Amino acid sequence: MPRYRLLIEYDGTPFVGWQSQPVGVSVQGALETAVFKLTREEAGIRGAGRTDAGVHATGQVAHVDIEKTWAPSRLCDGLNFYLKPLPIVVRDCAETDPAFDARFSATARHYLYRILPRRAPPAIERKRVWWVPRTLDVEAMREAASALVGHHDFTTFRAAQCQANSPMRTLDRLDVTQNGEIIEIRASARSFLHNQVRSMVGSLKHVGEGKWRRGDLAAALAAKDRTACGTVAPASGLYLVSVDYGAR
């Protein structure tokens, strides 16, 4: 049975998240519905990242097994036709090795978080950034972020309902840069805990506001205590931008 690798982009605003839920429309569910309408096959789709409600993606990766062989371009176009008018697009489709698994074959996941620090609220990007109505110290945030890079117990930055077996993770990258009005925070790791990126970003905001310093962020990490975490950043500013496969 052919296996297809999909590259997917979506605006997460109207969805309950990637994963199918008993109530509400999920990205996974919408894609599976589109596959059925196109192929008349009940095919499950596995994604590389289980993004939460309101989280966006420009480079989500998924795989699906379909009994009939499809030209990748026809499969891509057909899925996009049946996904309308939902804000989901299959950017690319390719037949792949049957052993490929979008989730377990991934060697790195890359996320972007966008903060808009200005007095006036956003209009066009209202559901696509975290609006903070004050100036933030980007340099202080950048310097503090380095305290979280490396292999650590990230219990402090882990949601209470996280189902991961271990809080240990290796954070390969946590960069803070200014791009025009937007503060961009980029995080990379092989895998993340539930709400880890949003929890780290919310704590970095405390640094940017001058409420915390680098030492406070390091102490929060060392506490291994969820109550030591700063504000959890809203889902609207978070994007899954790409997933790596191959040698780590």
**Which residues carry out catalysis?**
52
**Which two structure tokens, joined as six digits, stand for 222?**
């060392």
Q: How far apart are CA 200 and CA 232, in angstroms?
A: 8
Torsion angle (degrees, nearest 10) of CA 146, 103, 167, 229: 60
**Which two structure tokens, joined as six digits, stand for 49?**
């990242």
88-93's contacts with Cβ under 8 Å and 24+ in sequence apart are 88/8, 88/9, 88/10, 88/11, 88/27, 88/30, 88/31, 89/8, 89/9, 89/10, 90/6, 90/7, 90/8, 90/31, 91/7, 91/8, 91/9, 92/6, 92/7, 93/4, 93/5, 93/6, 93/7
Closest by alpha carbon to 110, among 187, 34, 184?
187
**Which two structure tokens, joined as six digits, stand for 208?**
């940017």
Nearest 5°: phi and psi at 49? -140, 130
Residue with tokens 């956003």: 122
Instruction: State which H helix or E strand residue 3 sits in.
Output: strand 3-10
